[in-house]
Structure 1
Amino acid sequence: MGSLDKSSGSEVVTIDVVEAKHLIQSGYVYIDVRTVEEYKKGHVEAEKILVIPYMFNTPEGRVKNPEFLKEVLAFCKEEDPLVVGCQSGVRSLYATADLLKLGFKNVSNMGGGYLAWTGKGFGIKTEEPAVLQDKPKEL
């Protein structure tokens, strides 16, 4: 797994879904950085969950959400304990690194993402998110 380098303060710590589930159940905020469309299809069961996409799907492909850090700061303080997850663990890795660079102190990347979570048979939900940050799609 990852290691924590106290001197740099910006090395990403990746935890497995078992540890992530334990942290989420102990009160950590879970930030789902997938798109709202992905979230609606199913998401991690967590009491404190935010949907803040790290990337948006556009006709040109995926683009980074320029407001990502601002949106996280609107809901979370730098001291808040956070677990960041996505579909397979790639976007959450980059999102976690960005949060650490911004000064967040207690943030972990959920390795393997939602796919690993469901692979363990952990609880999921398919309801509408409380916080919709995605842009509506044109039909």
Structure 2
Amino acid sequence: MVGHEYAQDRAHELSQRWFLLYRSHSRPRQRVGLRYRLRWWKSSNRDTTSSPMASAGLVQISDKKELEALPTVDGGEVRELMSSGHHYLDVRLGKDFDKAHADGARNISYYLSVTPSGKEKNPHFVDEVAEIFGKDEHLIVGCNTGFRSRLATKDLLDAGFKNVRNLKGGYQSFLQSENQQPAAHQQ
């Protein structure tokens, strides 16, 4: 009987230790609402560049103001600027660029792939742009709707390119301003 009671006490003690160990390593359970989770996410010591939001191409709120302050150009000004020596850099995927693009545009993809599960940024984007264009050349950066080109413009300005402008509204605004059909890729 003594051995049986000892085994029960020992099992109870171990279960209490496991419970306390689990409880000490888990998050507090009293606040589990979305507001608390977001506050916990922001306040924790996380590397935001490797967060799921950053890898998905989503922008932090502090960067949003920087993106809105970037130098921009309207779709109607593009033809005039290109005729005066500006270069059009299209940052869409190659398959989208091949379907239709502005005359004289060069394509360097900002993303390597875009899938429903996420976006994979081109890690050599700035280097590829630097191989083709000098840091003092005038660039107009465009994508389809203008969001991806804002990210690309910010990266280029941060890398030391001096005369870079984002095409506000992207290729779609360029088409609307020109009131034309997309020019098919000619070889």
> If the length of structure 2 is used for normalisation, what is the TM-score?
0.58
Q: Identity of paired residues, percent? A: 36
Structure-2 change in CA distance of 1:93 and 1:118 (3 Å): same
Conserved? CA contact 2:139–2:163, under 8 Å: yes
Structure-2 change in CA distance of 1:77 and 1:118 (3 Å): same
1:55 — aligned with what?
A: 111
Aligned length: 117
1:78 — aligned with what?
A: 135
Q: Distance in 2 between matches of 1:106 and 1:114?
A: 19
Tell me the SS of whatever aligns to 1:45: coil
Runs of 4+ with deviation above 6 angstroms: none
**Higher normalized helix content (fraction of residues):** 2
1:21 — aligned with what?
A: 79
For structure 2, the 5+ residue unaligned runs are 1-68
Q: Among 115, 119, 131, which residue is 2:176 paired with?
A: 119
Give the C-alpha shift of residue 61 in structure 1: 2.7
Range moving further from structure 2, 115-124 or 69-78: 115-124
Q: Distance in 2 between matches of 1:32 and 1:12?
A: 17
2:122 — aligned with what?
A: 65
2:76 partner amino acid: V
**Higher normalized strand content (fraction of residues):** 1
Give the C-alpha shift of residue 87 in structure 1: 0.2
1:88 — aligned with what?
A: 145
Structure-2 change in CA distance of 1:123 and 1:73 (3 Å): farther
Conserved? CA contact 1:92–1:109, under 8 Å: yes
Which is higher, the Rg of structure 1 or of structure 2? 2
* RMSD between aligned residues: 1.8
Conserved? CA contact 1:39–1:126, under 8 Å: no
For structure 1, the 5+ residue unaligned runs are 1-10, 130-139
Conserved? CA contact 1:45–1:124, under 8 Å: no
1:43 partner amino acid: H
Answer yes or no: is 1:104 the counterpart of 2:175: no
Tell me the SS of whatever aligns to 1:125: coil
1:53-93 deviation digits (Å, cap 9, x = unpaired)? 00122554321110100100100111001110000000100
Give the C-alpha shift of residue 21 in structure 1: 2.2
> If the length of structure 1 is used for normalisation, what is the TM-score?
0.77
Higher relative contact order (CA 8 A, sep 6+): 1
